Amino acid sequence: MSGTLRTFVLMAALTGLLAALGWLLGGTQGAILALVLAGAGNLWAWWNSDKALLRQHNAVPVTEANGGDLIALVRQLADNAGLPMPAVYVLQTDQPNAFATGRNPQNAAVAVTQGLLRTLSRDELAGVIAHELAHIRSRDTLIMTVTATLAGAIAIMGNMLMWSGNRERQGGMIGALLLMILAPLAATLVQMAISRTREFDADRDGALIAGSSRGLASALVKIANAAGRTVNIPAERNPASAAMFIINPLSGMRMDRMFATHPPTEERIARLQALAAG
């Protein structure tokens, strides 16, 4: 199934969940309103979800004036990948991490954290950026971005349901039980839509773009070791966006583990090392 088709299927499934939550919040009228809002939300997510995610993660644009070296590195790697130059952002968090977003290569962005820039060498940083460019080239970013946005909307409506007085009117315990089902179901849809194999593919393709797998392998070691010791507050507030990052940014508290879509980091590193040996 193509990435675009998977995105439409995902939108339909999440729209159904939003309608169910709307019914729990406001009965038939709530379901109709949720469907209308979901339709508008789907259109909005298709065109603007990348910008919304960047805002949620406090992304600051990088220009030649405030980050010429980073811009030059991204431009060189984008040329290697045969891609247009993406927009570049820095995320205001000490956790070393990165993600790419955008509905297509012509409207794409690469975001790296302050912690990543401080932690990695130039070769390691090149490996990470090349990994993100590989996601852009394979158009993984479309379904990843839309998934994060729509699943986040379900989480917000779920919280509204939990605290709304309408819970009593719509069945009290039944509403609470349905919420307990819907939240994991939203997370399951995220995991089904975003295949774990995409990270292995992006690792391999990123190594080819960067010209070496050693930088990315070394970067993954550093990021994995540091990420667990540093809380990424914007990611914790929107756990559905975790799949966007090169390494899971979540602490694992509460329901975070449901949204984990990354393969084991050790396996990714082993594959990169085998690629270097080969």
Closest CA to 246 of 78, 73, 146, 124: 124
Angstrom CA distances, 133 to 48, 137, 223, stand at: 20, 6, 18
**b/e for 162-174, b at 16 or more Cβ within 10 A?**
eebebbeebeeee
User: Which segments of the chain does DSSP mark as H helices, in order?
Assistant: 3-56, 64-81, 114-119, 122-137, 140-163, 166-169, 173-193, 197-210, 214-227, 233-237, 265-277
Q: Which of 132, 168, 199, 236 is catalytic?
A: 132
Question: What's the distance, CA 177 to chain centroid?
Answer: 28
Q: Active-site residue 168, yes or no?
A: no
Angstrom CA distances, 218 to 32, 51, 59, 167, stand at: 51, 30, 25, 50
| CA pair distance 172, 150, nearest whole angstrom | 26
**b/e for 137-146, b at 16 or more Cβ within 10 A?**
bebbbbbbbb
**So which residues are the catalytic ones?**
132
